[in-house]
């Protein structure tokens, strides 16, 4: 029986979503492979989410020291490399984030293990581990196998897996001191600079008017925004709308965007890909407008309008003006 390690990512005393996403996927893999699941937490004293990790894993290895409160790649990779040698896990999962992009290649060199980066899925086929990665700017999915190795390193794309409800594990927490042979740190933590946050928090909205690629052009956003204002809603969108820079990222709904729970979700020109629909499972009533009567969004919609969205928008604007 092997072990899967998930490196728990945290920032400013909070567990990051990517950690919970990885733990959910790792839990499924553990069941398929008859492995055990260990969350590896490297952090400062008394972090408030140890119990949450214990609820999602069979074990938490907590390397606890004030000097580790903030991410320091030199020290973190020294600790992980020691754990690789002492515990010999079969798989180590990390986020494809600033942490994982720093740690995974270095650990691959230190351990000699193969690394697969930016994976959107992980599978077991005939007992062999495979990963799915996107190539050609996301147009093609490639299935990748590893050369035989004692262990494998995988970085996981944020949003590739859902954030599950609280776990049902009662993992034991094993506290370890900081190893004595760690390299000297070459960095000094100065301060956190928060990235720009949106003016709108769509997770708190009761009524969302959501637009997809079906609006055709970025300049059409203004018309949808007008409608949202008239109807007392806020505007949200699918991922291509963000990729095309028609709206900022904080409007995006879905696995790599926000999970929303409005009373009404009004979807305009959104096809209903699973990565989008995963973000609206908690919505009260879903009304979808799409000119394609076979659009998958209609499978989850309470009301389906098969029509050109601009006709509907014009009619509603007249009605609410």
- Site for ligand FAD, rule CB under 6 A: 120, 138, 157, 159-160, 212-214, 238-240, 252-257, 269-271, 273, 275-276, 289-292, 295, 308-310
Q: H/E element holding 48?
A: none
Smaller CB separation from ligand FAD, 49 or 266: 266
Smaller CB separation from ligand FAD, 100 or 212: 212
Smaller CB separation from ligand FAD, 39 or 237: 237
CB of 51 to ligand FAD, least distance (A): 29
CA distance 281 to 302: 12
CB of 50 to ligand FAD, least distance (A): 29
CA dihedral 168, 172, 178, 183 (to 10 degrees): -50
Q: H/E element holding 112?
A: none
CA distance 75 to 179: 9
Taking Cα atoms as reference points, which of 316, 308, 304 lies closest to residue 231? Answer: 316
> What does 129-142 look like in DSSP terms, one character per residue?
EEEEEEETTTTEEE
Residue nearest to ligand FAD (CB): 254
CA distance 252 to 238: 6
- For 279, residues 6+ apart whose C-beta sits below 8 A from its C-beta are 253, 254, 255, 257, 258, 259, 260
Smaller CB separation from ligand FAD, 185 or 275: 275
Q: Are 118 and 150 in contact (CB under 8 A)?
A: no
Smaller CB separation from ligand FAD, 157 or 169: 157
Smaller CB separation from ligand FAD, 254 or 262: 254
CB of 254 to ligand FAD, least distance (A): 2
Smaller CB separation from ligand FAD, 84 or 301: 301
Task: Please provide residue 95's backbone torsions phi and psi, each rounded to the nearest 5 degrees.
Answer: -70, 150
CB of 278 to ligand FAD, least distance (A): 8
CB of 312 to ligand FAD, least distance (A): 8
Smaller CB separation from ligand FAD, 189 or 274: 274
CB of 290 to ligand FAD, least distance (A): 4
CB of 198 to ligand FAD, least distance (A): 15
Beta strands in the chain, from DSSP E residues, in sequence order: 3-7, 10-11, 14-15, 36-43, 59-64, 91-95, 115-125, 128-135, 140-145, 152-156, 172-176, 207-211, 234-237, 264-268, 285-290, 303-306
CB of 219 to ligand FAD, least distance (A): 14
CA dihedral 41, 44, 45, 49 (to 10 degrees): -50
């Amino acid at each position: 029986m092997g072990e899967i390690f998930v490196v728990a990512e945290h920032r400013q005393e909070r567990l990051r979503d990517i950690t919970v996403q990885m733990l959910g996927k790792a839990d499924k893999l553990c069941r398929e492979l008859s492995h055990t699941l260990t969350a590896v937490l490297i952090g400062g004293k008394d972090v408030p989410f140890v119990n949450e990790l214990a609820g999602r894993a069979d074990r938490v290895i907590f390397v606890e020291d004030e000097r580790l409160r903030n991410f320091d790649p030199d020290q973190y990779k020294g600790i992980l490399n020691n754990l690789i040698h002492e515990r010999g896990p079969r798989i180590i999962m990390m986020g494809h984030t600033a942490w994982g992009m720093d740690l995974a290649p270095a650990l691959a060199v230190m351990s000699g293990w193969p690394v697969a980066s930016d994976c959107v899925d992980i599978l077991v086929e005939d007992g062999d581990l495979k990963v799915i990665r996107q190539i050609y700017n996301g147009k093609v999915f490639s299935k990748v196998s590893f050369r035989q190795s004692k262990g494998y390193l995988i970085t996981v794309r944020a949003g590739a897996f859902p954030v599950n409800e609280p776990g049902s594990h009662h993992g034991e927490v094993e506290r370890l001191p900081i190893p004595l042979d760690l390299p000297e740190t070459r960095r000094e933590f100065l301060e956190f600079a928060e990235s720009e946050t949106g003016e709108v928090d769509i997770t708190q909205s009761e009524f969302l008017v959501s637009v997809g690629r079906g609006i055709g052009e970025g300049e059409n956003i203004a018309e949808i925004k007008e409608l949202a204002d008239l109807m007392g809603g806020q505007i949200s969108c699918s991922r291509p709308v963000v990729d095309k820079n028609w709206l900022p990222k904080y409007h995006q709904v879905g696995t790599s965007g926000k999970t929303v729970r409005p009373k009404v979700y009004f979807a305009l020109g959104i096809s209903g890909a699973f990565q989008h629909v995963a973000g609206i499972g908690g919505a009260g009533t879903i009304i979808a407008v799409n000119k394609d009567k076979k659009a998958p969004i209609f499978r989850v919609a309470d009301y389906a309008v098969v029509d050109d969205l601009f006709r509907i928008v014009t009619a509603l604007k007249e009605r609410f003006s």
